[in-house]
Amino acid sequence: MIYPVKSEVERKLPCDAMHAIFAYSLRRKLRRQYNGQYFRFVIEESFYDYPDSELIDGSKLWYIYDQKVKHGVGRLNAIQSDPDKRPTLYNSEDGPYAQFELGQYLDIQGISSYMNEDFTITAIGSGDAPRPMIGIWGSNVITVEPGPVSRFRFNDNHGSISQSANNKVNQYFSGLDESQNGNRVLSMNSDAGGSGQIVRGDIGSDFLHASIGRQGDRLFKGTFIEATLHNGELTKLGSQKLWEEAKSVY
């Protein structure tokens, strides 16, 4: 079953607003022309693709298909090859979600060459405490850590937002902001709240690994639904539009 989303005709989907580096969703298409599957799941060593096959509660998530199309950037599916480290899938009245326990994660191979210090990550999910639902790391580190207190990290630059006991829609922008005299900012939004800060140093683009569900040895516990990553081609205004679109759906 494909679950409906709000105002399908009026919204500009995340990968149509600007080409993404990756685009994962367990519930919906993120590009209007996308006609593929959303994810692959496993039941008793047999695999199925959603939404062609109906999801059964307790299935294991094998990988999430990358929905984006971007010149020069291949498909970056999020994959877990080890059956013992795959998160569990469930249906809710709003659609599928993945439940991650500590030590369960999906790796994203080949992302490092496309990362720099300018990016927007928009992610849908929640955790029991600030833990890395999205982690991108090497010598430099980026995390998105949703929870009752949502935390975001770019190296030693940390930001925390506590607006709701159920933060679910999270966005992290790093880039130039005309409203801040063209300075680089870190801008963080979680549900209805947000904050920003000027970054004067300690940034970089040395990234080797990326995962959903961990950052190195730091592990995530919580639910995951969706994530997109855009690079610096997406402006601050563009990131705000993606933020509004995500809130209108979730």
Residue 153: phi and psi, rounded to 5, are -140, 135
Q: What is the model's pLDDT at position 8?
A: 45
Does 156 map to a domain? yes
User: What is the chain's length?
Assistant: 250
Domain count, the chain: 1
Q: What is the model's pLDDT at position 134?
A: 97
Does 2 map to a domain? no
Does 125 map to a domain? yes
- Contact call for residues 29 and 67 (beta carbons, < 8 A): yes
Specify which residues 199 forms β-bridges with.
none
CA distance 39 to 24: 9
pLDDT-derived band at 7 (thresholds 50, 70, 90) equals very low
Does 96 map to a domain? yes
- Contact call for residues 176 and 184 (beta carbons, < 8 A): yes
What is the pTM for the complete model shown? 0.91
Give every CB contact of residue 138 below 8 A, 6+ residues apart in sequence: 112, 206, 207, 208, 209
Q: What is the CATH number of the domain that holds 28?
A: 2.60.120.200
Q: 21 in the Ramachandran plot: left (φ > 0), alpha (ψ -120 to 50) or beta?
A: alpha
Does 71 map to a domain? yes
CA distance 249 to 111: 27
What percent of the chain shows pLDDT beyond 70? 88
pLDDT greater at residue 199 or residue 218: 218
Q: Which domain holds residue 38?
A: 14-249
Angle at the Cα of 231 from the Cα atoms of 182 and 96, rounded to 5 degrees: 130
Does 8 map to a domain? no
Tell me 80's DSSP state: -
Does 3 map to a domain? no
Does 138 map to a domain? yes
- Contact call for residues 112 and 208 (beta carbons, < 8 A): yes
